[in-house]
């Protein structure tokens, strides 16, 4: 049964239908390229929502992972392991924070940041019991747990899953005034994405984040920066918030922190915040396990050695200019930063993604009308040059 169709039928029979994937079954990946079960080759321009910044099956990470898989994989945090400290030292050194708390999925790290911010509020701001508030933005995406979808503005993410956790206030994105107005005496944090990836690659105005940082500082509110998708080089800097020279109180990382090998996430902050946690306050069986730690350290090493942020900046800036040159009646806007680029269409993007697939390019629609181009950061100019005429051909066809 070596066809895409057969595997899809089997998957659909046994799995929940909570996704609508492109009809392609992948069996192998190397760098920016993937192969399907029928032997066709594709350029991956999604990178698993930026978890594959280092490319598929990066040999340096693979080697480290295999070696550690044969040595020690899991201790739980009931005991120490010899790898977690090394990983967190590297993560803190690279990012300039003094402490890191490792988790697994991105959503778990967001939950961790919420818990830390709330407890900080009760202990340090002396907020009345159960009154802590966190401000979030409309059109956000922070994950899929019940608490997180509870403060989503996307109807489908919420519908049927209530009731939800109280204590969140939703304000418009990119409005400095709205933040200023929403802060109350109970506000402990402002949780935001420096670019809204799932929301359609929405880039806020220059100066927005630095103005928010000033407000948060003045009002003693923690600035909580979700860099799960934008971080670790994707937008042309290690963190997208660095475009505005700000230093958030808490940074959340995930996705590319493992180079796609395994779920690894973390929150970063300084002692004054992290020290509010005491033994028993929070935990995760797999968080910080030695296999994850080795993979995380290797993934960071690749980002540094291969200068992935610099690559993303150079190639992304050039690629976005080329995309802007495509003359098509259905393109509304091309926007983004580094190699996180959204092409906003005047029509539904899904049929265009299906056409791109037929031309050997895997991209996925986000927010219905946007095609996101976010290839692994190890991509070369030559490979982008290969993709451009194919993308142009598909996007010029107004009939889809
Ligand atoms: C993907 C993503 C998450 C959730 O990460 P998971 O690993 O899917 O739980 C959270 N925030 C942002 C900005 C993301 O892009």
Q: What DSSP string runs through 95-143?
A: HT-SEEEEESSHHHHHHHHHHHHHHHHHHHS---TT--EEEEETT----
Instruction: Give me the tens of pLDDT residue by residue for the chain, a chain 400 residues long.
Output: 689 999 999 999 999 999 999 999 999 999 999 999 999 999 999 999 999 999 999 999 999 999 999 999 999 999 999 999 999 999 999 999 999 999 999 999 999 999 999 999 999 999 999 999 999 999 999 999 999 999 999 999 999 999 999 999 999 999 999 999 999 999 999 999 999 999 999 999 999 999 999 999 999 999 999 999 999 999 999 999 999 999 999 999 999 999 999 999 999 999 999 999 999 999 999 999 999 999 999 999 999 999 999 999 999 999 999 999 999 999 999 999 999 999 999 999 999 999 999 999 999 999 899 999 999 999 999 999 999 999 999 999 877 7
On whether residue 229 sits in a domain, the answer given is: yes
Q: Which atom of ligand 1 is nearest to the CA of 110?
A: 10
Nearby residues of 338 by Cβ (< 8 Å), 6 or more positions away? 233, 234, 235, 236, 237, 309, 312, 313, 316, 317
Q: How many alpha carbons fall within 13 Å on the CB side of residue 296? A: 32
Provide the token pair at 319: 């690629």
Which among 305, 321, 346 is the end of a domain?
305
Active site residues: 141, 226, 255
Residues in the chain: 400
State the residue range of the domain holding 106: 59-305
Ligand 1 centroid to residue 51 C-alpha, Å? 10
Number of domains the chain is built from: 2
Nearby residues of 179 by Cβ (< 8 Å), 6 or more positions away? 135, 171, 190, 212, 215
Name the closest-CA residue to atom 6, ligand 1: 106
On whether residue 400 sits in a domain, the answer given is: no
Cα-atom radius of gyration of the chain, to the nearest Å? Answer: 21
Q: Mind giving me the DSSP string for 320-372?
A: HHHHHT---TTEEEEEEETTEEEEEESS-SHHHHHHHHHTTEE-EEETTTEEE
Name the closest-CA residue to atom 5, ligand 1: 106
Ligand 1 centroid to residue 95 C-alpha, Å? 19
SS (HEC) of 32-51: CEEEECCCCEEEECCHHHHC
Ligand 1 centroid to residue 107 C-alpha, Å? 6
Q: Which atom of ligand 1 is nearest to the CA of 193?
A: 13
CATH number of the domain to which 330 belongs: 3.90.1150.10
On whether residue 103 sits in a domain, the answer given is: yes
Q: Which atom of ligand 1 is nearest to the CA of 148?
A: 10
**Running DSSP on this structure, what letter comes out for residue 65?**
H
Task: Choose which residue among 139, 200, 229 to substitute to test ligand 1 binding: the one with the highest number of ligand atoms within 8 A of its C-beta.
Answer: 229
Residues 98 and 148 in one domain: yes
Q: Quote the CA–CA distance of 356 and 354 in Å, as a whole number.
A: 5
Which among 305, 328, 351 is the end of a domain?
305
Ligand 1 centroid to residue 65 C-alpha, Å? 23
Q: Which residues line ligand 1 (CB under 6 A)?
A: 49, 105-107, 110, 141-143, 193, 197-198, 226, 228-229, 254
Q: Where are the alpha helices (DSSP H) in 183-230?
A: 208-218
- CA nearest 242: which of 281, 213, 199, 285? 213
């Amino acid at each position: 049964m070596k066809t895409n169709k057969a595997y899809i039928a089997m998957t659909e029979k046994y799995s929940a239908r909570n996704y609508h994937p492109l009809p392609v079954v992948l069996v192998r990946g190397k760098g920016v390229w993937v192969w399907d079960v029928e032997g066709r080759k594709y350029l991956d321009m999604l990178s698993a929502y930026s978890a594959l910044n280092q490319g598929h099956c990066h040999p340096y990470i693979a080697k480290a992972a295999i070696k550690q898989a044969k040595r020690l994989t899991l201790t739980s945090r009931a005991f120490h392991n010899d790898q977690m400290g090394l990983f967190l030292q590297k993560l803190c050194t690279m990012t300039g924070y003094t402490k890191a708390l490792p988790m697994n999925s991105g959503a778990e790290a967001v939950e961790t940041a919420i818990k830390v911010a709330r407890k900080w509020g009760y202990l340090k701001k002396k907020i009345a019991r159960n009154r802590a508030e966190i401000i979030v933005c409309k059109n956000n995406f922070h994950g899929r747990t019940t608490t997180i979808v509870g403060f989503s503005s996307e109807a489908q993410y919420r519908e049927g899953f209530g009731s939800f956790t109280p204590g969140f206030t939703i304000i418009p994105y990119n409005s400095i005034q709205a933040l200023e107005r929403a802060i109350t005496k109970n506000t402990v944090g402002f949780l935001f994405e420096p670019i809204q990836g799932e929301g359609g690659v929405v880039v806020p105005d220059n100066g927005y984040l630095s103005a928010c940082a000033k407000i948060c500082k003045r009002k003693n509110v923690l600035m909580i920066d979700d860099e799960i998708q934008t971080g670790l080089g994707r937008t042309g800097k290690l963190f997208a918030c660095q475009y505005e020279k700000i230093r958030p109180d808490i940074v959340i990382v995930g996705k590319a922190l493992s180079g796609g090998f395994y779920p690894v996430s973390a929150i970063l902050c300084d002692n004054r915040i992290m020290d509010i946690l005491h033994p028993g306050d929070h935990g995760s069986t797999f968080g910080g396990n030695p296999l994850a730690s080795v993979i995380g350290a290797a993934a960071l090493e690749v980002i540094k050695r291969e200068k992935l942020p610099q690559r993303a900046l150079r190639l992304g800036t050039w690629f976005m200019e080329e995309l802007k040159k495509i003359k098509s009646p259905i393109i509304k806007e091309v926007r983004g930063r580094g190699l996180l680029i959204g092409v906003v269409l005047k029509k539904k993007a899904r049929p265009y993604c299906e056409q791109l697939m037929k031309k050997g390019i895997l991209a996925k629609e986000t927010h219905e009308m946007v095609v996101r181009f976010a290839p692994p950061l190890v991509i070369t100019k030559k490979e982008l040059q290969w993709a451009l005429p194919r993308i142009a051909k598909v996007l010029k066809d107004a009939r889809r």
